[in-house]
Amino acid sequence: MVNVVLGSQWGDEGKGKLVDLLVGKYDIVARCAGGNNAGHTIVVNGVKYDFHMLPSGLVNPNCQNLLGNGVVIHLPSFFKELETLEAKGLTNCRERLFVSSRAHLVFDFHQITDKLRENELAGRSKDGKNIGTTGKGIGPTYATKASRSGLRVHHLVNDLPGAWEEFETKFRRLVETRQLRYGKFDFDIEGQLAQYKVLKEQLKPFVVDSVIFMHNAMKANKKILVEGANALMLDIDFGTYPFVTSSATGIGGVITGLGIPPRSIDEIYGVVKAYTTRVGEGPFPTEQLNAEGDKLQTIGAEFGVTTGRKRRCGWLDLVVLKYSTMINGYTSLNITKLDVLDTFKQIPIGVSYSINGNKLESFPEDLIKLGSVDVEYTTLPGWNEDITSVKTYDALPENAKKYLKFIEDFVGVPVEWVGTGPGRESMLHKDI
């Protein structure tokens, strides 16, 4: 059985929390795309765990965890995150963590050029618009992957004669070509290569052929949960290009990032924040640059887990959710952070876009078009009640249930879970 958790908006919907809630029923949690640009916060018994690159399945001591071939890995950050989680009390992490031999490596020079490129964009473009990346080297690493000059895990851990020499040569060439492009940035090639000789030995015990790992697991009827990172509107093809990340963050990335057949996938859970947030630059039609947006930001404690940046806030956008559903084919939804709306008397929901009075059929591909859309809202009454201690779906206030029903009817997908607070216990389940 392979089930998938995917972000349906611009990220930070609360994917980590759903994974944590479900993980007790699974044998394996796998990440298939992205790197440590992700930030998944999980609160268990009052302890807060921040995951960036590692799968959230590590919180369950019985669960194995895989970083698939579609993930990009900065090894110093990988070990740092592992040590931080161990220090917080997670046990046997090293025996339960596996890394695909085909995953690409993120190096410090990727992170340096990520920042140089952002500075260049901020200075050069007409409106001074950089992407607002996390600076973790994600884009430059997928770029070297696509240009076929990247280095993968197997290149590093290979002990056959000549393998290390080839790694060194390719590494030097990568730095040199970047210095030709960006100018001679400060970089200690020899020091880095010495560091990677050590990291190579540290990494070896984690490395697997992930195609075999996944297929053996499926053959043995293991229960596998795929933890999506980033989100559909940040997808390199379907997101608000170029204000996106550099990987396939939707269902396609699950197939290519793990090497599993499409038909092996069972359920696809779409995680939807009850309103919308976005970190970084780029279009956001239902953004509220006003007191309502500030209120969502404050009550929702909307700060990025990876960069600490304030998240931009606005109303739920069902044009986005419908588009996201068409691509990912969610079988059910998890609406998160409904409690954040408790004190809003009226709650607008974006239901369509139009340009000069002409209604658009779907989410537009073009940013100039997107910049000129008028959003039509349907406003639903709030419930003006604290729902954080509600224990069952049926016990939710009527207006909260109407809000959820409106979403279900609009996108044609049932709501299966509702988040009413950050803790593990604050999640209501509805039989569907």
Annotated binding site: 11-17, 37-41, 134, 148, 230, 245, 305-311, 337-339, 419-421
Angle at 208 between CA 203 and CA 214, to 5 degrees: 140
Residue 131 touches which of ligand IMO, ligand GDP, Mg ion, none (Cβ within 5-8 Å per kind): ligand IMO
Q: Say if CB 273 and CB 12 are below 8 A apart.
A: yes
- Among 28, 32, 40, 276, the residue binding ligand GDP under the rule CB under 6 A is 40
Q: Say if CB 142 and CB 244 are below 8 A apart.
A: no
- Interface residues toward Mg ion, by CB under 5 A: 12, 39, 305
252 touches ligand GDP (CB under 6 A): no
421 touches ligand GDP (CB under 6 A): yes
Enumerate residues 327-386 that contact ligand GDP by CB under 6 A: 336-337, 339-340
Q: Which is nearer to ligand IMO, 16 or 400 (CB)?
A: 16
Active-site residue, from 27, 40, 114, 273: 40
Backbone angles phi, psi at 270, to 5 degrees: -95, 125
Q: Is 235 a catalytic residue?
A: no
52 touches ligand GDP (CB under 6 A): no
| Nearest Cα residue to 379 out of 401, 354, 350, 355 | 350
Q: Which is nearer to ligand IMO, 101 or 276 (CB)?
A: 276
Would you state the structure tokens that stand for residue 114, as one six-digit string?
A: 């990520």
Q: Is 429 a catalytic residue?
A: no
Active-site residue, from 104, 110, 136, 145: 145
Q: Which is nearer to ligand GDP, 240 or 420 (CB)?
A: 420
Q: Which is nearer to ligand GDP, 258 or 296 (CB)?
A: 296
Q: Is 155 a catalytic residue?
A: no
326 touches ligand GDP (CB under 6 A): no
Determine the angle formed by the axes of helices 138-146 and 108-124, rounding to 10 degrees: 100
Residue 58, burial from CB neighbour count under 10 angstroms (0-12, 13-18, 19+): buried
Going from the C-alpha of 349 to that of each of 79, 313, 377, the distances in angstroms are 42, 13, 5
- Interface residues toward ligand IMO, by CB under 6 A: 7, 11-12, 37-40, 131-134, 136, 138-139, 229-231, 234, 245-246, 279-280
Q: Which is nearer to ligand IMO, 73 or 390 (CB)?
A: 73
Helix (H, G, I), strand (E, B) or coil at 268: strand
Q: Say if CB 388 and CB 425 are below 8 A apart.
A: no
CB 340, min distance to ligand GDP, A: 6
Please give the residue whose beta carbon sits closest to ligand IMO in the complex: 280
CB 309, min distance to ligand IMO, A: 7
Backbone angles phi, psi at 69, to 5 degrees: -65, -20
Backbone angles phi, psi at 114, to 5 degrees: -60, -45
Helix (H, G, I), strand (E, B) or coil at 4: strand
Residue 421 touches which of Mg ion, ligand IMO, ligand GDP, none (Cβ within 5-8 Å per kind): ligand GDP
Would you state the structure tokens that stand for residue 133, as one six-digit string?
A: 């990346």
Q: Say if CB 6 and CB 222 are below 8 A apart.
A: no
As a whole number of angstroms, the distance between CA 353 and CA 367 comes to 13
Tell me which residues are annotated as active site: 12, 40, 145
Q: List contacts with ligand GDP (CB under 6 A).
A: 7, 11-17, 38-41, 43, 305, 336-337, 339-340, 419-422, 426
